[in-house]
Structure 1
Amino acid sequence: MRLQKAWPAVMAVLGAVGLAGLLALMFTPLSRSLACWLAGRDWSSMDAAARSAAVGQVRLAVVQAVAGVGAGIALIYTARSYRLSRRGQVTDRFTKALERLSSDEPYVCIGGVLALEQIVQDAPEQGWHAARVLNAFVQHHTQPAGAPGGLASVQLPEEPDEMVQEALRALTTPGSRRRKGSWPPVDLAGRHLAKACLLEADLRGALLKGAALRGAVLCRARLDGADLTDADLVRADLSDARGLTVEQVLAARALRDCVLPEPVRSDPTVVERVGRGE
């Protein structure tokens, strides 16, 4: 492992030594031989001054070539050093954001969410990791969706905490998901998210099985391929939701007073089920 890390530096040193050796050889009789070879048959007809000028031109060309190669090596090494430095800075920022998320103070946690969001903007390749952290944060700070009427449901909060809501926004904002080519599916299965604000949220492929979304706002949300099996959508606002199908809606556990987009709400099966107060 150490040899692998040191290999680029070793190669750079060997390259520099090789170029320096080549440059030194050009100021030996080797340069005259090279000039003679390049001149070919014209060498024999040259006088002393012309031969001296030809040797000087060869040396100048070699010096310029060595300088160009050396500059290229230096540029590559500088770029590599920059990438390593930048990676270290991103890692340090990520670590500090995690420390904020573990705080007991809500405003500090919100600062951690905003820090992760900024990291994704500056370093899109960290989007996958940031999304996993935010998803775990939401799951940790929300409760399981209790059975309606059970003892657990009495203790459930009426709406998500401000820090949870901020994490949901950062996790489902369309801008962040477009910025990364790969983004893990949002996993909110079985979580209590009553009255959560998911306005224009990107929930494509989201895992919402068994989630309690009573009174949640999902206006203009993207729900292509989202799993709504056994989800509680009572009084949820899904107006103008995109990618929502009749099959997804019928898979939900409860639809009473749920606002659905056209043409889903006009489907006879959906109309019948909503009419029964389910």
Structure 2
Amino acid sequence: MELWIILLIVIIVIMVVLCATALWAPQQYAPKLSDQELASLTSARRESLEIGDGRLRLQNEWRATLIQALAGFTVLLGVFLAFKQLLDQGENSRETLELTRQGQVSDRFTRAIDQLGSGNPETKTGGAYALEHVARQSPKDYRIPVTEVLMAFLHRQANRGEGPFKEEARDKESGTGCNPVGERLGTRDPDVQAAVAALGRLEKQKNDPLLDLSRVDLSRADLTGARLTDANFFRTDLHNTNLAKADLRRIYRKDADEAANLKSANLCAANLTGASLAGVDLSTALIDEHTNFKGATSDQCTEWPEWFDWSSRGVICKISPGFQDREESCPPDDHRAELCKNNQP
């Protein structure tokens, strides 16, 4: 039972008790004289009348006191009921405001999706930013739907297909041959740049769906500081992309091959200065002499191309805790772990 109902019952009981007391107490504490008592005072009638008047006054004073107490409790009950009504109105107002807010957010979400389907690049760019705003405003309900919508948009708008990269004609042993020229993604496809940048700014959590950016053309994108942990970049074109201080680590999906996957990704001339690469698979990534790894951090689970000397390219390797608990996703490699240990700052 709710507290306010209990309080209301208590006040009503008190009022009933006071009403009963107002009728009973005067008779108990100032009773009327019996006939015998009055008869015994006939010789002094004046005194008898004064005594009777005094008792009546005492009874009336009792009644007045109890009626005042009863009136006070009646006022208290009125105040309580008014306060309860005010609380109910406030609660109803909050519920109405929340429903209104949810409706407004839902409308903005729908309009933003419509904008993404526009044929105008500026309108699609605005739709991507609008979706990011919706996800930030109502993360519990819309963060994951917005992430999935933006991923679908990138796969539809910037899908590079299964064909080879132009840079794959390079000499794989030397890691040269990548072409760092081209138009910036923000100029070439501003809507794609806005969508992937929005994904990189959204918060990531443990049970989120896999961030699938495989086979997407993100060449010359600006992803500075992007949070793209556990993302799948298989055969994604990232040549000349700015990934400075980007977080590409494998965090939650320890056993998923698709997570933190940069296999066959094109990193020619990409800027990974200070990027976090712990647990990332770059074993078949396209890397050339222009790819900047200065200050990037890896761990003993990071996989590099066999020909690539990461220690000479400014990569800082740090032994990750719990290495022995990650055998399924990171098979023990004493040589790699030893190299990493010797390369720690």
Distance 1:183 1:264 in 2: 24
Residue aligning to 1:162:
190
Residue aligning to 1:138:
154
Distance 2:198 2:101 in 1: 23
What amino acid is the match of 1:227? N
The structural deviation recorded for 1:172 is 0.6
Residue aligning to 1:177:
203
1:88/1:37 Cα in 2 relative to 1: closer, same or farther (>3 Å)? farther
Residue aligning to 1:196:
221
Distance 2:138 2:73 in 1: 47
1:38/1:223 Cα in 2 relative to 1: closer, same or farther (>3 Å)? farther
Distance 2:217 2:243 in 1: 15
**Deviant stretches of 4+, over 6 Å:** none
CA contact (8 A) 2:150 2:195 kept: yes
The structural deviation recorded for 1:204 is 1.0
CA contact (8 A) 2:275 2:297 kept: no
3-state DSSP of counterpart to 1:248: coil
Equivalent residues in 2 for 1:212-223 (5 A)? 212-223=237-248
1:37/1:80 Cα in 2 relative to 1: closer, same or farther (>3 Å)? farther
The structural deviation recorded for 1:149 is 5.2
**TM-score, normalization by structure 1:** 0.72
- Higher helix residue share: 1
The structural deviation recorded for 1:119 is 2.2
Residue aligning to 1:53:
68
Residue aligning to 2:308:
274
Residue aligning to 2:127:
112
The structural deviation recorded for 1:42 is 6.9
Deviates more, 1:95-104 or 1:46-55: 46-55
Residue aligning to 1:3:
none
What runs of 5+ residues in structure 1 fail to find an aligned partner? 1-17, 151-156
Residue aligning to 1:76:
91
Instruction: Give 2:136's match in structure 1, choosing from 113, 117, 121.
Output: 121
CA contact (8 A) 2:261 2:282 kept: no
The answer to whether the aligner puts 1:236 opposite 2:270 as a matched pair is yes
CA contact (8 A) 1:207 1:228 kept: yes
The structural deviation recorded for 1:232 is 2.3
Deviates more, 1:255-264 or 1:226-235: 255-264
- Percent of matched pairs sharing the same residue: 25
Distance 2:21 2:249 in 1: 69
What runs of 5+ residues in structure 2 fail to find an aligned partner? 30-60, 168-181, 251-259, 310-345
Distance 2:158 2:296 in 1: 33
Residue aligning to 1:34:
17
Instruction: Give 2:288's match in structure 1, choosing from 250, 256, 262.
Output: 256
Residue aligning to 1:224:
249
The structural deviation recorded for 1:159 is 5.6
Distance 2:197 2:296 in 1: 27
Residue aligning to 2:116:
101
Deviates more, 1:159-168 or 1:88-97: 159-168
Deviations 1:71-112 (A, max 9, x none): 222211111111111111111111111111110000111111
Distance 1:170 1:183 in 2: 16
Deviations 1:205-251 (A, max 9, x none): 11112212222221111111122123222222211112x13x63542
Deviations 1:173-232 (A, max 9, x none): 2xx327x89755432012222222211111111111221222222111111112212322
CA contact (8 A) 1:219 1:237 kept: yes
C-alpha RMSD of matched pairs (Å)? 3.5
**TM-score, normalization by structure 2:** 0.59
Matched positions, count: 237
Deviations 1:47-94 (A, max 9, x none): 121121122122112112211222222211111111111111111111
What amino acid is the match of 1:177? E
1:182/1:108 Cα in 2 relative to 1: closer, same or farther (>3 Å)? farther
Distance 2:20 2:207 in 1: 57
3-state DSSP of counterpart to 2:308: helix
